[in-house]
Structure 1
């Protein structure tokens, strides 16, 4: 997860990309190749720059002849692991009027993969992690895995970080079996994984998480002060009703 400042201007963004994202050259179609190269650097290095990727989609929107479905799919894959932030939906909002490839023997893979990516995003948003992994590992998502996420360095680890973020906010204690299903790990691999997070595992395989404002329930006492004059009006109204 990233802070707002890091989302607006990641430390890994070069001065050249900053000028393209923030300046008037943002809408210059001649610069799309530079932004696409930057995207593929993100794919290879686990970096992420949502605003730069949105700039690509905006250029595609204004210049349909530039449209590259592989680039769009990779942008959505990177945005997928930004959950629970709205990056994926921001990208989708720029695809409503997406063009279709003409005069090519290669079919457009986006119409087939977009429903799968959207469902995967929804499952992450709903914290239905076992269902996410089941779909991601299914035959339906084979093309996504074999042609795209296999090239995206650290994709599954990035998904697991989304899971960890949700678990930290919801649990004080969780069984190793349950967490393993969330992380798509073997149960025997869970202790080593959680120890790197600073969590502890007891002899029974129960994992304890540090307390934080989200996973520490606090009782709330609600006290209402009703003046005698108000109570008299309520009683009088009840008698005349």
Structure 2
């Protein structure tokens, strides 16, 4: 995802989904199954459509009987990969407070996983990438990994794309050791990944060079103000009067 237009209308969205997201049927509860199927298509195919997923959460708000915690968790997992866009917070804003499930045989997994998901989002947003991977690999996140992210095709690489976007915007050069911790790669895995990005590693120093782009270039800005003579006369007269 590289632009706001792609975020609003991804090229992979079908005409049917476009009509459900943008048309009068947006709030028709009978369409929730179609949108949920579309979410699982996104999970299997590495596609992503935030507005379609938000439409599911809105339907859950209006129709609590439709609520499916697994769908909500999968929506939040996909939203993690969209940073720096505000998708995760948009999704969170549509979640209502729910009582603890009364059926012990089918406990709601969302209350226990939501704090983990929020912590992962915060770490990504703060560019604390090593801490993100540490939490993601931790025992606390094991239910999330074993039951959800394992099903999301390309999830870890999508997170690495979030890292790459941040690194490209902030660095011209970065040590390979530091970059490895950001990407959760071993020293052996990093060179292939860096080469695929079009970046280079200096074998003697281990420094990764990032090509110039609009964000990582420091450019001086010259501000030129034009003062007309009558204005200058007023300034001088005011100074003399003071």
TM-score greater than 0.5 by the shorter chain: yes
Residues 235 and 156 of structure 1: CA distance in aligned 2, closer, same or farther (over 3 Å)? farther
Distance, in Å, in 2 between the alignment partners of 1:189 and 1:234 is 68
Return 5+ residue gaps in structure 2 as ranges. Answer: none
Distance, in Å, in 2 between the alignment partners of 1:172 and 1:101 is 51
Residues 173 and 18 of structure 1: CA distance in aligned 2, closer, same or farther (over 3 Å)? same
8 Å Cα contact 1:61/1:98 also seen in 2? no
Q: Map 1:1-241; keep pairs closer than 5 Å.
A: 1-98=1-98, 101-103=101-103, 105-203=105-203, 204-221=205-222, 230=235
Q: CA deviation at 1:189?
A: 1.5
Distance, in Å, in 1 between the alignment partners of 2:241 and 2:138 is 67
Runs of 4+ in 1 over 3 A off after TM superposition: 96-104, 220-237
TM-score with structure 2 length normalisation? Answer: 0.91
Residues 28 and 229 of structure 1: CA distance in aligned 2, closer, same or farther (over 3 Å)? closer
Q: CA deviation at 1:3?
A: 1.9
Return 5+ residue gaps in structure 1 as ranges. Answer: none
Distance, in Å, in 1 between the alignment partners of 2:40 and 2:53 is 10
1:42-83 alpha-carbon deviations (Å, 9 max, x no partner):
111101011110010001000001100000000000001100
Residues 37 and 176 of structure 1: CA distance in aligned 2, closer, same or farther (over 3 Å)? same
8 Å Cα contact 1:32/1:59 also seen in 2? yes
Distance, in Å, in 2 between the alignment partners of 1:105 and 1:87 is 32
Distance, in Å, in 1 between the alignment partners of 2:86 and 2:240 is 51
8 Å Cα contact 2:202/2:208 also seen in 1? yes
Over aligned residue pairs, what C-alpha RMSD do you find?
1.9
8 Å Cα contact 2:61/2:96 also seen in 1? no
